[in-house]
Amino acid sequence: MAVLCRLLVTLLSLGALCGAEPVKFLECESTAEQIIVDITPCPLQPCQLRKGQMYNVNVTFTSTTSSSTSKADVHGILSGIPVPFHIPNSDGCKSGIKCPIQKNGRYSYVTSLPVKDIYPTVKLEVKWELKDDDDKDIFCWKIPIQITD
């Protein structure tokens, strides 16, 4: 019994260490509800994103609309000017979301954000949108980041 208790405590401790903390974000023109954004690793804000590294992005949300497709649109906002960020796959239906998206369905959009070596060392705001069939935002959020060497 003592061995079982120690094993359980160890597993719970590992789970707490590995669990991602949701980041604080500013919602922008979303129709989705109950949005939770996790960027791993991003223990503090602004998120410190190192050049040459890959970051995991997980957005959990409840859709308030139906759509047969979804497409991610990611920009860095620098002095008010949106600069496109390339992500490996902009198709939300190939990024954890089972399409078609149903109204009131709960979804997890999962992708990665590569930070290229050619990016400048700069502080900026990232705007991440997931668009529906009509090019309207299913979700939209912004977070401050800092790209570092």
Task: Tell me the per-residue pLDDT of 105-146, one tens digit each, with 9 for 90 and over.
Answer: 999 999 988 899 998 999 999 999 999 999 999 999 999 999
pLDDT of 146: 94
- 101-115, pLDDT tens digit by residue? 999 999 999 998 889
Spatial distance between the Cα atoms of 52 and 39, rounded to a whole number of angstroms = 16
Is residue 15 assigned to a domain?
A: no
Is residue 2 assigned to a domain?
A: no
Is residue 134 assigned to a domain?
A: yes
Q: Assign 60 to helix, strand or coil.
A: strand
Is residue 102 assigned to a domain?
A: yes
Spatial distance between the Cα atoms of 128 and 14, rounded to a whole number of angstroms = 30
20 pLDDT band, cuts 50/70/90, is: low
Is residue 71 assigned to a domain?
A: yes
* 11 has a pLDDT exceeding 60: no
CATH number of the domain where residue 75 is located: 2.60.40.770
29 pLDDT band, cuts 50/70/90, is: confident
At 68, the amino acid letter reads S
Measure CA 50 to chain center.
17
Q: What is the distance between the terminal CA atoms of the chain, rounded to a whole angstrom?
A: 50
Is residue 44 assigned to a domain?
A: yes
Q: Residue 110: which domain range? A: 21-148
At 32, the amino acid letter reads A
Is residue 10 assigned to a domain?
A: no
Is residue 39 assigned to a domain?
A: yes
pLDDT of 13: 31
86 pLDDT band, cuts 50/70/90, is: confident
Number of domains in the chain: 1
Q: What mean pLDDT, rounded, does the chain reach?
A: 84
Tokens for 54, please give them.
Answer: 């890959």
